[in-house]
A and B are shown apart, each in its own frame.
Chain A
Amino acid sequence: MIATATKDRLIKLQPLIALFVMCLAISILSDKFLTVNNGWNILRQISVNICISVGMTLVILTRGIDLSVGSILAFAGAVGAGLLKFGIDVPSENVNIGFTLLGAIIAAIVVGGALGWFNGFAITRFKAPAFVVTLAMLTMARGFTMLYTEGFPINGLGDHFGFIGTGWFLGVPFPVWITAVVVLLAVFLTNKTPLGRYIYAIGGNENAALLSGINTKRVKMIVYTLSGITAAIGGLMVTSRLDSAQPNAGLSYELDAIAAVVIGGTSLSGGKGSIWGTVLGAVIIGVLNNGLVLLNVSPFWQQVVKGAVILLAVIMDKTNKE
């Protein structure tokens, strides 16, 4: 019993050890790696992915998947930027409704939440597979983005909006603060609330959860809505950093998010995993990206390495179980 307990602990530490070894190796090979500036750089780069991955973790814990986060990110970012810059024209009344910074931010988050809610609705109401529903949303939300932006970036959003992605607060980049809050809220949700427990129960055994009186449909709706919201927050950060809402923003971000979740030890078959694991997974991906750039590895090889790491993580997860 004790032997298995230590073994379990070691297995849990595996990703942490991997990260440590990786940092050690990169810092030996490049003297630019272990600098304060580079540290903030990595954190700023990964804060968007962590944010999306948190929502993705909740979804995957219920044994679902959300492929639409990249597109939702783009649409929510575009809506936020568009409302801030142009407001809404109401031609019949010949007026324009302007949006304050806060109003635009809230609108973007509501849009992200609404699209996520729709995912959850379609999945629970029609018992459609999450993979297909969110794949459809991936395409549709991208289409909405193109329609809304007419295919052109929305630029020049002002310094206040720019603070979200580029500002500093108490010596720490502002996007890192945002992500930290999202992570802490999600940790609280998963560990300290009934909803969190229900998420694990549904992923672990949906039948048992249903028969225990858990409203499984409602929980799933909430989880997809939250995933839409975290994607929208990510969208605001991306848009702000570039001072531009790109119609092509967030392309294939869902894959990075899924990779972070999987590397972080959350099981794709649901019920097992944690938010901290995902954060660690995202950090591993971030450090890897950063290191490969510092070491002047060609971008083509970077992709190969990244893919190999994901594969390795899954294989290790499987062999640990046996």
Chain B
Amino acid sequence: MLIAKNITKRFSGVTALQEVRLELNAGHVTSIIGENGAGKSTLMKILSGVYTDYEGELLMNGEAVSFKNTREAQNAGIAIIHQELNLLPYLSVAENIFLGRELKNEFGILDKKEMYIRSALLLDKVKLKIDPNTRVEKLKVGERQLLEIAKALMLDTKVLIMDEPTSAITDSEAKILFDIISELKKEGKAIAYISHKMKEIFSICDDYVVLRDGKFIGSGAISEVDENQLIKMMAGREVELHRHNIHVKKNDDPKILEIYDLKLPTFNVEKGITFDLRRGEVLGVFGLMGAGRTELLETIFGVHTGISQGEIKIDSISKKINSPITAIKEGLALVTEDRKRDGIVPDLSVRKNMGLTVLRQLCNVGVLQIDRERALAEMYIDELKIKTDSDQQLIKNLSGGNQQKVVLAKWLATHPKVLMLDEPTRGIDVHAKSEIHKLIDQLASEGMGIIIVSSEIPEILAVSHRVLVLSEGRITGNFDIDEANEQNILKAAIA
């Protein structure tokens, strides 16, 4: 029904998809499989008209099509249900279904009655027993998922793309969803199904397509493969990162950080997270999207107060960390994942960004000593090889890699005992990446404890002494670096 041929998509120099092909057939559910960053979402965004500049060809029922926007894709019969649902909470169910395509009577006035009746029929089809006048904010996540499907059906959708539809819903809600999927299948719709959950893939999908690093790896009928084969296809990445000569960690080094039964926000788990970190150790943390990686670091850093339980010990002494302020006092540092949102103050200079964490120490009787701050900034610009024409340059004018180094410098200036890095090399070039990896090793060899979260297994393997794997707010794997490899890490992450 829908065929994508040789799709290539580049983002300012980075190739996200390279000559990928995909075939979605009527009456089939096709599973799109791949690690984070494999290119699944990019491909789906091309199919649904979100991205319009790409190379390659889309064929719908044999005819070449190209969409200028999502509306054109919808009119052609392709609908996507995003992971973050696109519903307006304060509008009613019916208003959401007909959003942007409202029915009007001959006077140009909204025909609410007709929309109500048609909504009710659509809701019936997806087995949602709710009144179309209900406000969406009152619905549960699973119900909203079904509502999105109803919305797609209103458009006479022929191809339905679902991006991790079960990531936030309960098992019983998922079961209803699967029933509806199989009915849609019987009606001859083509469905693309993105999920990390192997069990689901094997129970509802007919075909599979594996992507890795933006490339097409393989496809076929799901009945002809087993789980291990799929994981192997997903994982067999070309290793572009080499493990440097990492300093040897001693197992009798004292523990600097101990975490006991820490429960993460938004995850309802029985047993919390427990692990420890020694002086000079680099602990890699891997998990797929939504596994709780960022939440783990944020919880340790005191961002989510009032939700988390459990115990945190630093240097064997139990500590209560209820804000980033106390976390910093206890010697913790967190380099956040989203640099723009949580890391930099764009309109302040490189120097002022670096000074933020240690201003009090740069003061003399309450007055900022600019020369001290400048000395600090110049030291780190030199040490981390930050490319900037001066310490007074606004940080927003630096490249991503150099911005990241400034953020790192800001935290190194606090001389932390434990440095937590959340995706420290995302979106920065290979050269800066390897510099940051070297820096991590150097800091660890000087006795700092480091936790690095990354969604790239090769990166984790390149820098860590030990690897923790998270899945749905739990630890599902704990490997020494000698026993860790892509396959067992990925397997634990999918568990």
A interface with B by C-beta (< 8 Å): 1, 191-194, 196-198, 200-201, 204-205, 207-215, 271-272
Q: Is B334 an interface residue (CB 8 A)?
A: yes
Q: Assess whether B303 is in contact with A211, with CB atoms less than 8 Å apart.
A: yes
Q: Assess whether B334 is in contact with A194, with CB atoms less than 8 Å apart.
A: no
Selecting from B151-159, B245-253, B357-365, the interface stretch reads: B357-365
Nearest Cβ in chain A — how far from B115, in angstroms? 34
Nearest Cβ in chain B — how far from A192, in angstroms? 5
Chain B hits for A272, CB < 8 A: 347
State which of B303, B344, B363, B370 has its C-beta within 8 Å of the C-beta of A194: B363
Q: Assess whether B345 is in contact with A213, with CB atoms less than 8 Å apart.
A: no
Complex Cα–Cα for A50 and B341 (A): 34
Complex Cα–Cα for A272 and B345 (A): 11
State which of B329, B342, B357, B359 has its C-beta within 8 Å of the C-beta of A207: B342
Closest A residue to B329 using CB positions: A213
Q: Assess whether A213 is in contact with B357, with CB atoms less than 8 Å apart.
A: yes
Closest A residue to B369 using CB positions: A192
Specify which of B327, B359, B366 lies most central, judged by the most chain A CB atoms within 10 Å of its CB: B359
Contact count A vs B, C-beta below 8 Å: 74
Q: Assess whether A193 is in contact with B334, with CB atoms less than 8 Å apart.
A: no
Q: Is B30 an interface residue (CB 8 A)?
A: no
Complex Cα–Cα for A102 and B120 (A): 74
Closest A residue to B411 using CB positions: A212
Complex Cα–Cα for A200 and B325 (A): 18
Specify which of B342, B343, B366 lies most central, judged by the most chain A CB atoms within 10 Å of its CB: B342
Extra inter-chain contacts (16) besides given A204-B345, A211-B342, A271-B347, CB under 8 Å: A193-B363, A193-B368, A194-B360, A194-B363, A200-B348, A201-B352, A204-B348, A207-B341, A208-B336, A209-B356, A211-B324, A211-B336, A212-B324, A212-B410, A213-B357, A271-B345
Q: Is B136 an interface residue (CB 8 A)?
A: no
Known: A211-B324, A212-B324, A213-B324. A197 touches B344 (CB 8 A): no
Q: List 10 A-B contacts (CB under 8 A).
A: A194-B360, A201-B345, A204-B345, A204-B346, A208-B343, A209-B345, A212-B324, A212-B357, A213-B324, A213-B329
Known: A197-B356, A200-B345, A271-B345. A210 touches B367 (CB 8 A): no
Chain B hits for A207, CB < 8 A: 341-342
Closest A residue to B355 using CB positions: A197
Chain A hits for B370, CB < 8 A: 192
Known: A1-B389, A271-B347. A197 touches B367 (CB 8 A): no
Interface of A is mostly: helix
State which of A193, A210, A271 has its C-beta within 8 Å of the C-beta of B324: A210
Nearest Cβ in chain B — how far from A221, in angstroms? 15
Chain B hits for A210, CB < 8 A: 324
Closest A residue to B362 using CB positions: A194
Chain A hits for B475, CB < 8 A: none
Complex Cα–Cα for A198 and B325 (A): 14
Chain A hits for B327, CB < 8 A: 213
State which of B325, B328, B345, B389 has its C-beta within 8 Å of the C-beta of A205: B345
In the A-B complex, the 6 residue pairs with the closest CB atoms:
A204-B345, A194-B359, A213-B328, A212-B356, A205-B345, A207-B342
Complex Cα–Cα for A208 and B345 (A): 7
Q: Assess whether B359 is in contact with A205, with CB atoms less than 8 Å apart.
A: no
State which of B325, B342, B344 has its C-beta within 8 Å of the C-beta of A213: B325
Closest A residue to B326 using CB positions: A213
Closest B residue to A200 using CB positions: B348
Nearest Cβ in chain B — how far from A133, in angstroms? 23
Q: Assess whether A197 is in contact with B343, with CB atoms less than 8 Å apart.
A: no
Q: Assess whether B346 is in contact with A205, with CB atoms less than 8 Å apart.
A: yes
Q: Assess whether B360 is in contact with A204, with CB atoms less than 8 Å apart.
A: no
Chain A hits for B359, CB < 8 A: 194, 197-198
Binary contact readout B290-308 vs A (1 if CB under 8 angstroms, 0 otherwise): 0000000000010100000
Specify which of B303, B325, B327, B356 lies most central, judged by the most chain A CB atoms within 10 Å of its CB: B356
Complex Cα–Cα for A200 and B344 (A): 12
Nearest Cβ in chain A — how far from B439, in angstroms? 20
Nearest Cβ in chain B — how far from A7, in angstroms? 13
Chain B hits for A215, CB < 8 A: 325
Nearest Cβ in chain B — how far from A185, in angstroms? 13
Complex Cα–Cα for A210 and B341 (A): 11
Complex Cα–Cα for A76 and B355 (A): 38
Chain B hits for A197, CB < 8 A: 352, 355-356, 359, 368
Chain A hits for B352, CB < 8 A: 197, 200-201
Chain B hits for A205, CB < 8 A: 341-342, 344-346
Chain B hits for A192, CB < 8 A: 367-368, 370
Complex Cα–Cα for A214 and B342 (A): 13
Nearest Cβ in chain A — how far from B478, in angstroms? 28
Closest A residue to B352 using CB positions: A197
Complex Cα–Cα for A191 and B357 (A): 17
Known: A194-B363, A194-B368, A208-B343. A214 touches B356 (CB 8 A): yes
Complex Cα–Cα for A292 and B370 (A): 44
Complex Cα–Cα for A299 and B353 (A): 47
Nearest Cβ in chain B — how far from A295, in angstroms? 39
Nearest Cβ in chain B — how far from A208, in angstroms? 5
Chain B hits for A211, CB < 8 A: 301, 303, 324, 334, 336, 342-343
Nearest Cβ in chain B — how far from A2, in angstroms? 10
Chain B hits for A271, CB < 8 A: 345, 347-348
Complex Cα–Cα for A271 and B363 (A): 22
Binary contact readout B54-92 vs A (1 if CB under 8 angstroms, 0 otherwise): 000000000000000000000000000000000000000
Q: Assess whether A201 is in contact with B344, with CB atoms less than 8 Å apart.
A: no
Complex Cα–Cα for A11 and B454 (A): 42
Q: Assess whether B347 is in contact with A204, with CB atoms less than 8 Å apart.
A: yes
Q: Assess whether B328 is in contact with A193, with CB atoms less than 8 Å apart.
A: no
Chain A hits for B357, CB < 8 A: 212-213
Nearest Cβ in chain B — how far from A272, in angstroms? 5
State which of B329, B342, B367 has its C-beta within 8 Å of the C-beta of A208: B342
Nearest Cβ in chain A — how far from B389, in angstroms? 7
Complex Cα–Cα for A200 and B303 (A): 22
Complex Cα–Cα for A201 and B356 (A): 8
Chain B hits for A193, CB < 8 A: 363, 366-368
Complex Cα–Cα for A188 and B355 (A): 18
Binary contact readout B307-338 vs A (1 if CB under 8 angstroms, 0 otherwise): 00000000000000000110111000010100
Q: Assess whether B348 is in contact with A201, with CB atoms less than 8 Å apart.
A: yes
Which positions 369-391 of chain B face chain A at CB distance < 8 Å? 370, 389
Chain B hits for A209, CB < 8 A: 345, 356
Complex Cα–Cα for A65 and B408 (A): 33
